[in-house]
Amino acid sequence: MSSSAVMRTENLRKVYRTGTIETPALRGVDLELHEREFTAVAGPSGSGKSTLLHLLGGLDQPTDGEIYLDGRAMSGLSKDELARLRLTRIGFVFQAYNLIPVLTVLENTAFVLELRGMLRSERVARARALLAELGIDEYADRYPSRISGGQQQRVAVARAVVAEPSIVLADEPTANLDTASSLDLIDLMRRLNEEKGATFLFATHDGRLLDRVNRLITLVDGRVTQDVVQRDGG
């Protein structure tokens, strides 16, 4: 694995079984993701995009193959070690936001830091600073139900990056947003990538996002059919 690689997969396979029926989702995926990349995985519905992100994030286990994060094989980790890895090295942005409804915007943003054991004063200060940097500090004391979908997704991004993970995995992050909100969110994630060095990997079919990434990986029927470095996505 090259020195700048954050994550690597070897012959990654996933088969879903229902009784005697087997449905292959990934069929031997080899990838290397590098520091500071802004990369998208595209492909038709059912191509394996979300499955790939779930495996990379340790939310599901591969049927075969290996995933390395920061040079460490994930297959040999216990459930507790995997949970710790997700807590410290991986950020998630989900299509459905997945904010905790009984927590305020500030509390949602700081939640990962709380799980990591950071003192309350420190985590609140870091979360407030990030919300201000992202232009949503005015919503800090509101609950998710009291802000728009676009604002909720910005909070989800803030929560994903506040702990400064090695990689941020975003599954269809713009799918539920209108055009203006989508473009704002893409600009936000691009800025975080450039200014904070966060590595982003998206699963998406949104052309507005695909036009902004630096690298485009195409999945078809669980296989990588194309992996190209694009122009500067700015």
Stronger pLDDT, 1 or 74, i.e. the higher one: 74
For residues 164 and 118, the answer to whether their CB atoms sit within 8 Å is no
Average pLDDT over residues 39-55: 94
How far apart, in whole angstroms, are the C-alpha atoms of residue 206 and residue 172?
8
pLDDT at 233: 56
pLDDT at 215: 96
pLDDT at 2: 54
How far apart, in whole angstroms, are the C-alpha atoms of residue 151 and residue 174?
12
Reported as a pLDDT band with limits 50, 70 and 90, residue 47 is: very high
Reported as a pLDDT band with limits 50, 70 and 90, residue 122 is: very high
Output the six-digit token pair for 165.
Answer: 């993970």
Is the pLDDT assigned to residue 200 strictly greater than 90? yes
How far apart, in whole angstroms, are the C-alpha atoms of residue 28 and residue 78?
24
Q: Kindly report, residue by residue over 75-117, the tens digit of the pLDDT.
A: 888 888 888 888 889 999 988 888 999 999 999 999 999 999 9
Residue 184, φ and ψ in degrees, nearest 5:
-60, -45
Residue 149, φ and ψ in degrees, nearest 5:
-60, -40
| Of 169, 155, 230, the residue nearest 198 (C-alpha) | 169
How far apart, in whole angstroms, are the C-alpha atoms of residue 234 and residue 231?
9
How far apart, in whole angstroms, are the C-alpha atoms of residue 94 and residue 202?
10
What is the rounded average pLDDT for all residues in the chain? Answer: 91
Reported as a pLDDT band with limits 50, 70 and 90, residue 231 is: low
pLDDT at 232: 60
| Dihedral, 230, 59, 1, 70 alpha carbons, nearest 10 | 110
Reported as a pLDDT band with limits 50, 70 and 90, residue 5 is: confident
Tell me, what DSSP letter sits at residue 59? S
How far apart, in whole angstroms, are the C-alpha atoms of residue 168 and residue 92?
6
Q: How many CA atoms lie within 13 A of 64 on its CB side?
A: 9
**Percent of the chain clearing pLDDT 70 (strictly above):** 97
Domain 5-229 has CATH 3.40.50.300: yes
Is the pLDDT assigned to residue 3 strictly greater than 60? no
How far apart, in whole angstroms, are the C-alpha atoms of residue 5 and residue 98?
28
Output the six-digit token pair for 46.
Answer: 């059912």
Average pLDDT over residues 19-38: 94
pLDDT at 96: 83
**Percent of the chain clearing pLDDT 90 (strictly above):** 67
pLDDT at 134: 86
pLDDT at 181: 87
Stronger pLDDT, 143 or 195, i.e. the higher one: 143
